[in-house]
Amino acid sequence: MSEDPDVTVCLLEAGGPGTSPLVSTPGAFAALIQDYRINTLNWRFNTDPSKALNDRRLYNPRGKMLGGSSGMNGMVYIRGDRSDFDHWAELGNDGWGYNDVLPYFRKAENNERGEDEFHGSSGPLHVSNGKREFDVYDAFIEAATGLDHQANPDFNGASQEGVGIYQFTVKDGKRASVKACYLDPVMGRRGNLRVEVHARVHRIRFEGNRAVAVEYSQDGQLKTIPCEKEVIVSGGAYNSPQLLMLSGIGPRDELEKHGIEVIHDIPGVGQNLHDHPDLMLSYQSKKRLGIALNVVGALKTVRDLFQYLTQRKSWLASPPTAAGGFLRSAPGQNRADCQVHVVPLAYRDHARDYKLMTKWGYTIILNIGRPKSRGWVALHDSNPESDPKMDLNLLSHPDDLKTLRNAFRVVQEILHSDRMKAMMKRPLYPDRYLETDEEIDAYIRAEANHAYHPVGTCKMGTDEMAVVDNRLRVHGLANIRVADASIMPSVVNGNTNATCIMIGEKAADMIRHDNMSSKNSIAEY
């Protein structure tokens, strides 16, 4: 937005600048998701009890810094399948089909593979190939292709299906977050761009149906910034609906319950929450390969850290999730509907099972790509400093459990093939080969979690539950848009960061077009 010198932009960020070395080091992302109280880079949310998952509360880390969750995610560069975006268009969202959004993916991208019909090479977002640092990567790919799963050199190309090596938002051994790629090159260099950190937005103020100001707290003071033209809400699938509701935009019953004046009754605010249900399968390896939190592993990590600090090399220079791909959960599926990541570490529970991580091993992360279960985001109270209340409601739809069970069988077959058995000492989670539906379902209910891909709570559309239109303007209001994962009517098959960046690029173009005839003042949350 600030490329136009006639536009003034104020960016309000609840977190800090995100300058910690843990943020910039690709291999350190697991440390960022921990729920230590001193972890100020992370919102550290928790869900309500999940009925289909043995009433477990799910820990829900989200980025709290400039760049948001792109500062703590796994950096996997995946856009989603062509059919995902065509489905958005079929729902009535003109301009959001695959052919409409591909130019924005290409515009954003600076891919080390160079430019072609699918990729760009001159955009701000650096995309690089994953490194084949660990033997388990090639073993998994060979095992999968040996069982007739196809190899795929480019998951963002002509077809998504297959196994191979991922690309990452990494440049020269450092995380290429949206802060690093979009903000850092211009922050402090453009007089029309103002960036405020530790600025917790409390509410958007309205005159009638028109957004006119943003109220926020900073350094213990309550401040207000007027907005002559537009407020752009970019808080993500949890914080964006929370802010709208705190501002009087949302389901009437929810607002009145907390004593909030209703500015506009939009029943879909906070609804349609969904994420990819995922599951981990961990195995102990025969040899000391990969990463482990034990004495030998620590000594290896010290060596690797020295190499990283002096040469930007070692496994710390690239996320340790380089291998994986997209598979079909059953022969009758007409497209890939599950995703896998291969990790050279035995882990589970958001890397909080430290005892498990002392073992030499590897983990396969499996998730299903198009879940039907839907949850919600609501308010605990009217206090803007409170966390939002949320329930992902994972696996509440019976089709999701069936799909995840089928996908588990597909992945378990790969992991117990001769090629992978040559690496395996024994299964850890689950601790044996699971045969029956009942065994698999019990494991799923005990261990399934989310994939850090929440979307949908301010969905784009034309139905009565839609929150924004196809130009991301909030229905029934003026001068306010939402531009983040919350506007996705349905989640894409794969990691969501690349799609969020595309949404930002496309939103900026639409805003410029809609306001090109006048000078603007735009506040972005």
75 is in an annotated binding site: yes
Cβ contacts of 266 within 8 Å, gap of 6 or more: 244, 249, 250, 251, 467, 474, 475, 476
212 is in an annotated binding site: no
390 sits in which H/E element: strand 388-391
Structure tokens at 522: 């735009």
Cβ contacts of 280 within 8 Å, gap of 6 or more: 347, 348, 363, 364, 365, 366, 429, 447, 449
Sign of the dihedral defined by the CA atoms of residues 183, 186, 192, 196, in that order: positive
Is 453 noted as a catalytic residue in this protein? yes
Angle, vertex CA 375, rays to CA 373 and CA 378, nearest 5: 175
Taking the C-alpha atoms of residue 487 and residue 482, their distance in angstroms, rounded to an integer, is 7
516 is in an annotated binding site: no
Structure tokens at 107: 């515009």
Per-residue burial over 386-400, b = 16 or more CB atoms within 10 Å of its CB, e = otherwise? ebbbbbbbbbbbeeb
CA max distance for the chain: 68
74 is in an annotated binding site: yes
Taking the C-alpha atoms of residue 173 and residue 171, their distance in angstroms, rounded to an integer, is 5
Structure tokens at 235: 């808080």
201 is in an annotated binding site: yes
Cβ contacts of 403 within 8 Å, gap of 6 or more: 329, 337, 338, 368
The one-character DSSP state at 458 is T
Q: Which residue among the candidates 202, 453, 475, 513 is catalytic per the annotation?
A: 453
Active-site residue list: 453
User: From the annotation, which residues make up the binding site?
Assistant: 73-76, 201
User: From the annotation, which residues make up the binding site for FAD?
Assistant: 73-76, 201
